[in-house]
Amino acid sequence: MSSSNAGASSEPRTRVDAGAHSPALALVAIPPGALEMRDARSESSRHVTLRAFEIGRTPVTRAEWDAVAGNSASAGAPSGSTSASTSTSTSTSTLAPAHPVTWFDAVRWCNAASVAAGFSPAYGVDGRDVKWHVDADGYRLPTEAEWEWSSRAGTLGPTYGPLPEIAWTAVDDVSGPQDVALKQANAFGLFDTIGNVWEWCWDYADTARYADYRSLRGGGWADQTWSCRASVRRGSAPDAVLEDVGFRVARGPVGEANSHAAQGWSRVADLSRADIRGPLPVGWTPLRPPTS
């Protein structure tokens, strides 16, 4: 794994956004940079250049989730998804990451939080079809490239520090997610990017093999050390309810209006990868775009 160390030594800037009916979300300014991202299945890698953006200092907590969930009806929930107002954390602490959260739940919550704070919603939702407006200034899920760049914070190893010091994993023998920000932050000032809960990203996991599955990064409280690394990817259905899954928000326009590519993601690349001709390997379900 190679990565530019641009900005790794700079002091992270934390800014808090809050609307009249929204929680105070602590965001950290992430500098622009570049990294190599590897795809284990295809045994390929690609170079990604990132614009500056902002990302949550921690995963969204139960308190932050609850503060927005009441406004979520205006955000356009996809049919068949779990309602943001009924998806609740099983932890008794309001400072633990919100979980279990589906990908659709997270998208809906981001739109509701954006409206509450006076930002432009990042997503257009039509049933199960979700479009990212890359020029919007509202809250959104980070791309995988943004997530990995933020987690690494200029480091090149599997984690930004020794796991016992930075992450809640199976080694800690805990029975659920722990309050955020109890272990060491990385050089950008982010907590819990490794361990505690897996975090949803915007990207598809693999449009050739897993249809509309979305990507998860970071590892969770019950995962062994080999799963808790900056480069490890996991995917699941966007409406799956998984006990060890939460999310953190990103924010900031990173592309031009009506563009379908930004921050290491491209809709053209998604569809191209899914365009498999001939017999399919057993179990493969390529993504097919909506017909309407």
Give tens-digit pLDDT for 54-109.
999 999 999 999 999 854 443 433 333 333 433 444 566 999 999 999 999 999 99
pTM metric for this prediction: 0.88
CA dihedral 263, 264, 268, 269 (to 10 degrees): -170
Token pair in block for residue 87: 């998806």
Nearest to 255 by CA among 264, 245, 243, 244: 264
For residues 195 and 141, is the Cβ–Cβ distance under 8 A? Answer: no
254 close to 267: Cβ distance less than 8 angstroms: no
Structure tokens, 195? 């361990």
Whether the Cβ atoms of residue 139 and residue 18 lie closer than 8 Å to each other = no
Is there a cis peptide before residue 162, judged by omega within 30 degrees of 0? no
**What tokens appear for 94 in the block?**
């309001």
| pLDDT for position 13 | 39
Lowest-confidence segment of 76-90, 185-199, 228-242 by average pLDDT: 76-90
